Amino acid sequence: MKTFMLEDILKTDYCHPRYDVDIITRLLGDRESATVLDLLDATLIPVEDRLWLVFKLGILEDRTVYAFRARLAFFDVDIYEKYYPADRRVRDCAEAWQKLADGDEDVDIAAAGDAAWAAAWDATGDATGDAWWAVAWAAAGAAAGAAARAAAGAAVWAAAGDAAWAAARAAARAAAWDVTQDAARAAAWKNILAWLREIIVEREE
């Protein structure tokens, strides 16, 4: 498993009023470096910020990121298909991410992503009442970053961190589309962090 040092975090634009360089330093303690699991378990830092830092550091293996994207997308499928059970576009995108995670480089992730984006747009004008927020966020989350990944081929793609973060944020919003549902949104972020941790332990430890 790859590690990071204090200077690696300082190179990111991590600055946040809820934590400063002292908290980051305490995360490392007497160690010269720490692992991504150490960062995910750092309770002094808000959950969503821990996830953001993990992807900004860029220390996860490609297939780990793809597996995380697949897990998020399958979560999105459950929300989307509640309203559109016969529409496979979001499911197809989730399956494409899973194929990438499993090493299938022939999958057309760009096409799958385009279809999921189309599903998101369709949902904005078709879902009943406020439900369109959850449905649209779910479809958009599955699609985020697909085109960037396709353009970069099998190499580490520049947009990986931002796209994975966008997908996680979309999943959290889909789980609690009403912005007043703070508890539901917080629970969603904790679940997302747990999914990523589980995938890292399985694939990189």
Helices (H) and strands (E) in the chain, counts: 11, 2
| Distance between CA atoms of residues 178 and 116, nearest Å | 22
Q: How far apart are CA 46 and CA 39, in angstroms?
A: 11
Ordered DSSP codes for 42-68:
-TTS-HHHHHHHHHHHT-S-HHHHHHH
What's the predicted TM-score (pTM) here?
A: 0.79
Provide the pLDDT for residue 45. 81
The pLDDT of residue 15: 55
User: In the prediction, which pLDDT does 44 show?
Assistant: 79
Instruction: Give 165-187 pLDDT, tens digit per residue.
Output: 566 766 676 665 544 566 667 77
Q: What is the pLDDT of residues 134-153, one digit of tens each?
A: 666 666 666 666 655 554 44
Tokens 């990986």 correspond to what residue?
160
pLDDT digits (tens, 9 = 90+) for 61-120: 888 888 988 888 888 788 788 878 898 988 998 898 899 899 998 888 888 888 888 887
